[in-house]
A = this chain, B = another copy of it.
Amino acid sequence: MRAVPVLFAITVLTWPQPGAAQGWTPPTDTQRCPSKWGSTDERGSGNHMKPETVLRAVRLIRTGEVFELGRVLKADMPFSLGRRFEMEMKRTNMNTGSNRRGSNEEIVFAELGQVGTQFDGFTHQTIGDSLYNCVKLNDVATRGGFTKLGIQNVGSLITRGVLIDVAALKGVEMLPDTYPITVDDLQRALQRQKLALQPGDAVIINTGWGRLWDTDGARYLKTNPGLTTAAAEWLVKQDPMLIGTDNGPVGVTPDPDRNLSNPVHQIALVVNGIHLLENLRLDEIAGKQVYEFALVVQPLKIQGATGSTVAPIAVR
């Protein structure tokens, strides 16, 4: 376990005071439905996945370098409450045959869509009893998964990825524990990196928080720098294919409005049908200033699931 030098440039960082309520209220079903993709749509931002999107991403590949953005999956990684990843090796089974073939395999018990580096589908979150596109929970939830909006429908995504390095903008390796990323932060970081977002992008935000993943899981889980509701609202207006970060909740935790529980998850998944990609390992691409790349992610096709544990990459 290496020491992590963290420059807490706290004195120069200011942000809205907790308690300064931001007044976000979930939109009513009438306000948010039907989705802009149509009243029967189940794909949301996945609709951006088209041949031309792939070609746009592939054109960014010049050196063939691949950067792994996924975390190693193991029993002692950080977990949100009540989640786990348990693996037991099954005893070697020696098959009959003169070739003495032994077989090994392992049994895994996990909240498979919601542990490690993971990709969120639209059944993961609700506003009350209502999912994306106002699909009603009780109409589609069964003991064995959801009959609509399941993660198996998403498929592999390949699109232009843009890393917005907010930590670098602030001159720190890691943003402070409850730092709320603002619209201004996002815009200035893009300006600093001389990049503009395009519809269908995978927008990846570096907070530096991922440095705690292997070194201080308790702190990693307790709070985190992340998006304000205003920043999330601005981002979704840019029409991305997905929003990813190096923390679990994407939104700042706790939310500055203490009455709200991770509203950013609702803004992205429920209100706008935009996928999330969480617990990314971003230190390498941030360190090497890989700001624009082809993002490739392959959610497992788990029927009816809310998400998938994944191992995405950036390629340039």
Residues of A within 8 A of B (CB): 24-26, 49-55, 58, 61, 63-66, 68, 70-75, 82-84, 86-93, 95-114, 116, 123-129, 137, 141-146, 152, 155-156, 158, 259-263, 265-266, 296-307, 309-313, 315
CB distance from A124 to the nearest CB of B (A): 6
CB contacts (< 8 Å) of A72 on chain B: these are 152, 301-303
> Across the interface, do B102 and A137 meet the contact criterion of CB distance under 8 Å?
yes
A125–B113 CB distance below 8 A: no
Name the distance in Å between A53's Cβ and chain B's nearest Cβ: 7
Report yes or no: B99 in contact with A124, Cβ–Cβ below 8 A. no
Instruction: For A142, list chain B residues within 8 Å (CB).
Output: 89, 91
In the complex, residue of chain B having the shortest beta-carbon distance to the beta carbon of A51: B64
Q: How many copies does the complex hold?
A: 4
Check A300 against B309 for contact (C-beta < 8 Å): yes
How far, in angstroms, from A110 to B84 measured CA to CA in the complex?
A: 13
What would 22 A/B residue contacts be, using CB atoms closer than 8 Å?
A24-B99, A58-B58, A68-B301, A71-B301, A82-B143, A86-B109, A88-B143, A95-B262, A101-B126, A101-B261, A102-B128, A102-B129, A104-B123, A104-B124, A104-B141, A105-B114, A106-B304, A107-B112, A108-B113, A155-B313, A296-B296, A300-B309
Return A217 CB to nearest CB of chain B, in Å.
Answer: 15
Report chain B residues within 8 Å CB of A51: 63-66
Distance in angstroms between the alpha carbons of A124 and B106 in the assembled complex:
9
Nearest-neighbor residue (CB-CB) of A254 within chain B:
B97
Using A156-B68, A300-B311 as known contacts, say yes or no to A144 and B63 having CB atoms under 8 A apart.
Answer: no
**A141 surroundings in chain B (CB, below 8 A):** 89, 91-92, 104
Chain B nearest Cβ from A127, distance in angstroms: 6
Q: Which chain B positions have C-beta within 8 A of A26?
A: 99-100
Establish whether residues A99 and B300, one from each chain, have CB atoms under 8 Å apart when the complex forms.
no
Most B CB within 10 A of own CB, among A24, A116, A126: A126
The answer to whether A87 and B158 touch across the interface, beta carbons within 8 angstroms, is no
List chain B residues, Cβ under 8 A from A49: 66
Contact A106 B301, beta carbon cutoff 8 Å? no
